[in-house]
Amino acid sequence: MARVRPLLACRQCACYILNHMVQYHQTRFDTSFAALSDATRRGVLEQLGRADASITELADKFHMTLTGMKKHVGVLEQAGLVTTEKVGRVRTCRLGLRGLEEEAAWIEGYRQLWAARFDELDKVVEELKRKEKADGRRKR
């Protein structure tokens, strides 16, 4: 007779596999959203969308130290949103090749979910208003 694994052990394996898969996607999203969570970094992306800039130019524009700007650019670079190239003593930043399509699709999915929920809520509110109006007429 074949030995069957205890049910609990099977559940633990399934959870481990599921969590591993979830962590894979979350790590990329976490990095992207963490990079975008800061107003300065969003400003840097906006600035680089207009033109490439050196770390010095970005630091001046955002009124911060070179070290502070290097840290912000490092976070954006780690997320793949910015690339840098050092020529001599100047490090030039430009928008990275990676876009935010997956993140935008994730957000859009939740936008649609909430829109559908609010549409359903509107229907419930309208139904309650109709019932309230009908009850008001019956009492008169």
Residue 32, domain CATH: 1.10.10.10
If asked whether residues 66 and 108 sit together in one domain, one would say: no
If asked whether residues 76 and 120 sit together in one domain, one would say: no
The residue range of the domain holding 123 is 100-140
The number of distinct structural domains making up the chain is 2
If asked whether residues 9 and 69 sit together in one domain, one would say: yes
pLDDT given for residue 93 in this prediction: 96
CB atoms within 10 A of CB 68: 13
pLDDT single digits (tens) 52-70: 999 999 999 999 999 999 9
Name the strand (E) or helix (H) holding 84.
strand 82-87
pLDDT single digits (tens) 99-121: 888 888 989 999 999 999 999 99
Enter the pTM of the model.
0.66
β-strand partners of 84? 93
